[in-house]
Amino acid sequence: MADGWIILDKPLTLGSTQGVAAVKRNLRARGLGKCKVGHGGTLDPLATGVLPIAVGEATKLCGRMLDAHKAYAFTVAFGAETDTLDLEGAVIGHSTVRPTRAALDAALAAFTGPIAQVPPAYSALKVDGERAYDLARAGHDVVLAARNVTIHALRVLETQGSDAALDSATLEADVSKGTYIRSLARDIALALGTRGHVTMLRRLKAGPFTLDQAISLDKLNDWGQGAALENVILPVEAGLVDIPALDLNPEQAGAVRQGRVLSGLPFPDGLWWARCGGKPVALVMLAGGALRVERGFNL
């Protein structure tokens, strides 16, 4: 059995579900085929980058990973908007306006911090029980309600074209859960008096995981065929490094594993991960010195 994380540097055209299937296939090839496997946040087929895939007990943290902050690099091409807001769709709007670099720099302030954002019609959100993208592909007029998201940081990485007339711009965004980069690109273009769509999208970070920890699909396949590669499966606690750890003695750990409440602990309120001898025991919540189990680990 295996427990932990495989951080895949997802290639173009591979879907998140296909990424999970690739991990399952390679786990079977290594004789580890009885593990639960799940991903920590969908990444579109036309996007690349960090796709956290949880194995075994780490799957208990997938929901937490879905809620995590994420960072992306993306390129928005100015002059045309597509129905999918990326390269996959049909053009639905043109503009001859090309923004200046100064206008782009000035516009980003309005998109930093809490903002309201209308998700793309081609998204996995449900409308009356059906996926929005299924309705859109069937020719229905899909109008989704605006949602509140937070853009923690937004900066220009590079531009194409002259500073007086940009053809495209590549930006980096650090965003909250629920943020659609395609919508962000559309709205930035509209604020600049033009239309736009995403031509490149790469996830740089998902929760505590970065590209530095990611492996290519080729390396994953090599590992499945027996290659002696290190750090293919990261430990369960690699997904917990952004919250504090709480050390328990064996007696306390036994009580937590039984789901009992520990009291009188002199630690601040909030979410912690409890460990004993370096091994994760449970994800726990402290309130008023009392510890309650959120998710227990069988490690």
Residues classed as catalytic:
44
Question: If you ran DSSP here, which 8-state letter would residue 277 be given?
Answer: T
Terminal-to-terminal C-alpha distance of the chain: 11
What are the residues facing 234 on neighbouring strands? 5
Amino acid identity for residue 119 in this structure: P
Strands 270-276 and 245-247: parallel
Could you tell me the two tokens for 97? 């306006």
DSSP readout, 188-227? HHHHTTS-EEEEEEEEEEETTEEGGG-B-HHHHHHHHTT-
C-alpha to C-alpha distance for 181 and 119, rounded to whole angstroms: 9
Of 21, 50, 26, nearest in space to 38 by CA = 21
Instruction: Map residue 17 onto helix, strand or coil.
Output: helix
Q: Tell me the three state secondary structure of residue 231.
A: coil
Q: Are 208 and 269 in contact (CB under 8 A)?
A: no
Comparing CA positions, the residue from 67, 57, 112, 73 lying closest to residue 208 is 67
Report the alpha-carbon distance of residue 44 to residue 46 in Å, rounded.
5
How many other CB atoms sit within 10 Å of the CB of residue 165? 12
